[in-house]
Amino acid sequence: MNAIYKREMKSYFTSMTGAIAIAVMLFVIGLMFRYINLSSGYASFAYAVSSSSLIFYIVVPVLSMRVFAEERRQKTDQLLMTAPVSLKDVVFGKYLALISIFAIPVVIMCFYPLIMSAFGTVTLQLDYLNILVFFIMGCAYLAIGMFISSLTESVIISAIVSILFVFVTQMIGNTYTIFSSTNFSGLVFLIVMAVIIGLLVYFMTKNYWAALGTVVVLAAACFIGYLVKPDWFGGKAETVLGVLNFSTHFSTFTQGSFSIADLLYFISVAVVGIVLTMQSVAKRRWS
């Protein structure tokens, strides 16, 4: 794993990808610190951290789009797959390099509350809690971005899908009113989710019948459930979208509350992203 980690870290700086990501993060964070804390006079750095979430639109695709997609495009993944290292070492080596690059500007962020404390009273506990959760949320995004990169050999497609994922999880809270809370609309929404899961199965397995079977089974379960207990489907679209909304889970900490459930949510997303990546790479390794 150390060899993979060192190789990835070297590639991030020789290609300037890591430097660009770090520069973008520091610029956005500095800008938010300037306008929210220095100009507007807010004593809490947590608001600047929360507003800095927009950096994920740039940092996630820039860092993760090449992790596996570039390897596949250049056919160097064949050397990687036949190397005397385990699949776990390959995935974790690449992932640790991702979060190491992301951690550099996050560590620098830790100095901002200290700078503010020299000129007045600040909420250090709240500020550092938000920085920690911000880092964990970034780890979750990067894990999913790594998984997306493992599904394609196109760096552009990987970047676009990563941006879409960030957009959906950041802005989905503004779409609740679009969906009706009726039972039938809940059924339609869950069937759409079944189709999305089926597409995910297809990209992972390249098996049309497995994907189709997944959609049919999930859709049939939804129809049967609707016939048996239609009231259960009311408001399900809003419930599912609420779970997928990263902004809502993060805002809990910005408001000064500590939520174990929200913290575990981001950790779980990161774990799911890593596991899915391992499954995706394993299939390619033995295909």
Model-wide pTM > 0.75 = yes
207 and 199 Cβ atoms separated by less than 8 Å? no
DSSP state of 85: S
Q: Of 44-48, 98-102, 225-229, 246-250, which one has max mean pLDDT?
A: 98-102
Question: What whole-number distance in Å separates Cα of residue 20 and Cα of residue 204?
Answer: 30
* Nearest Cα residue to 262 out of 85, 176, 140: 140
Question: What whole-number distance in Å separates Cα of residue 71 and Cα of residue 64?
Answer: 12
DSSP state of 84: S
Specify the higher pLDDT residue, 76 or 260.
260
Specify the higher pLDDT residue, 236 or 262.
262
How confident is the model at residue 144, as a pLDDT?
Answer: 93
> Does residue 19 register a pLDDT over 60?
yes
Mean pLDDT calculated for residue range 3-23: 86
Specify the higher pLDDT residue, 6 or 180.
6
Task: Give the least confident one: 10-24, 129-143, 204-218, 265-279.
Answer: 204-218
Q: How far is CA 76 from CA 1, 70, 73, 79, 80, in A?
A: 17, 8, 8, 5, 7
pLDDT bracket for residue 76 (50, 70, 90): low
**Alpha helices (H) in 229-259, listed in sequence order:** 236-244, 246-254
Task: Please tell me the chain's helix, strand, coil percentages from 3-state DSSP, rounded to the nearest 5.
Answer: 85, 0, 15
- The one-letter code for the residue type at 211 is A
Q: Which residues contact 63 (CB under 8 A, 6 or more apart)?
A: 12, 17, 18, 21, 98, 101, 102, 142, 145
105 by Cβ neighbours in 10 Å (0-12 / 13-18 / 19+) ranks as buried
Q: Helices 87-109 and 56-64: crossing angle, nearest 10°?
A: 150
- The one-letter code for the residue type at 258 is F
pLDDT (tens digit per residue) in 41-60: 778 888 889 888 889 999 99
pLDDT bracket for residue 268 (50, 70, 90): very high
Mean pLDDT calculated for residue range 124-132: 90
How confident is the model at residue 85, as a pLDDT?
Answer: 72
Task: Give the least confident one: 107-116, 210-219, 234-243.
Answer: 234-243
Q: Which residues contact 245 (CB under 8 A, 6 or more apart)?
A: 169, 172, 173
